[in-house]
Amino acid sequence: MNYTTQMDAAKKGIITKEMEVVAKKERMEPDKLRQLVAEGKVVIPANKNHKSLNPEGIGQGLTTKINVNLGISKDCNDIDKELEKVQSAIDMKAEAIMDLSCFGKTETFRRKLIDMSTAMIGTVPMYDAVGFYDRELRNITAEELIGVIEKHAEDGVDFMTIHSGINQETAAVFRRNPRLTNIVSRGGSLIYAWMALNEKENPFYEFFDKILDICEKYDVTLSLGDACRPGSIADSTDPSQIKELMTLGELTKRAWERNVQVMIEGPGHMSLDEIAANMKIEKKLCHGAPFYVLGPIVTDIAPGYDHITSAIGGAIASANGADFLCYVTPAEHLRLPNLQDMKDGIIATKIAAHAGDIAKGIPGAREWDNEMSQARRDLNWKRMFELAINPEKATEYRRESTPEDPNTCTMCGKMCAIRNMNKVLEGKDINILRED
Q: Which residues are annotated as a binding site for Zn(2+)?
A: 269, 333
- Taking the C-alpha atoms of residue 293 and residue 323, their distance in angstroms, rounded to an integer, is 8
Do 320 and 382 fall into the same domain?
Answer: no
Residue 295 contacts residue 308 (beta carbons within 8 Å): no
Same domain, 165 and 113: yes
Residues 201 and 236 in one domain: yes
Query: Both 194 and 303 in a single domain?
Result: yes
Q: What's the pLDDT at 428?
A: 92
3-state secondary structure of 43: strand
Q: Give the pLDDT score at 430.
A: 87
Domain termination residue (choose one: 319, 334, 360): 360
What would the pLDDT profile of 121-161 be if each residue is shown by its tens digit? 999 999 999 888 989 999 999 999 999 999 999 999 999 99
Closest CA to 250 of 285, 284, 280, 292: 285
What b/e readout covers 136-166, taking b as 16+ CB neighbours within 10 angstroms?
Answer: ebeebebeebbbbbbbbbebbbbbbbbbbbb
Residues 335 and 387 in one domain: no
Q: Which residues constitute the domain of residue 385?
A: 375-425
Asked if residue 55 has a cis previous peptide bond (ω within 30° of 0), the answer is no
Band of pLDDT at residue 32, cut at 50, 70 and 90: very high
> Does residue 435 lie in a domain region?
no
- Rounded mean pLDDT of the chain? 96
Question: Which CATH number do you get for residue 226?
Answer: 3.20.20.540
Q: Which residues are annotated as a binding site for substrate?
A: 69, 98, 127, 163, 185-187, 226-229, 265, 292
Domain count, the chain: 2
27 lies in the same domain as 165: yes
What is d(CA 415, CA 100) in angstroms, rounded to the nearest whole number? 51
Indicate whether 63 and 198 sit together in one domain.
Answer: yes
Structure confidence at residue 406 as a pLDDT band (50, 70, 90): confident
**99 within a domain of the structure (yes/no):** yes
Residue 231 near residue 173, CB atoms below 8 Å:
no
- 413 and 337 both lie in a single domain: no
The answer to whether residue 1 is domain-embedded is: no
Mean pLDDT is lowest, of 121-135, 209-223, 357-371, for 121-135
Residues 171 and 85 both lie in one domain: yes
420 lies in a domain? yes
Q: Kindly state whether residues 183 and 106 are assigned to the same domain.
A: yes
Does 430 map to a domain?
A: no
* Domain closes at, from 304, 327, 360: 360
Q: Which of 53-57, 60-64, 124-128, 237-241 has the lowest mean pLDDT?
A: 124-128
Instruction: Report the pLDDT value the prediction gives residue 79, as an integer from 0 to 100.
Output: 86
- Given pLDDT bands bounded at 50, 70 and 90, which one contains residue 208? very high
- Asked, for residue 434, whether it belongs to a domain, the answer is no
Q: Are residues 312 and 399 in the same domain?
A: no
Indicate the annotated binding residues for [4Fe-4S] cluster. Answer: 409, 412, 416
Note if the pTM is more than 0.75.
yes
Count CB neighbours of 333 within 10 A: 13
Q: Is residue 436 part of a domain?
A: no
Q: What is the pLDDT of residue 301?
A: 98
The answer to whether residues 344 and 398 belong to one domain is no
185 domain residue, yes or no: yes
**DSSP-assigned states of every residue in 332-354:** TTTS---HHHHHHHHHHHHHHHH
Binding residues: 69, 98, 127, 163, 185-187, 226-229, 265, 269, 292, 333, 409, 412, 416
pLDDT digits (tens, 9 = 90+) for 289-316: 999 999 999 999 999 999 999 999 999 9
- Assess whether pLDDT exceeds 80 at residue 104: no
Average pLDDT rounded to a whole number, residues 320-348: 97
Quick one: pLDDT band at residue 358, thresholds 50, 70, 90? very high
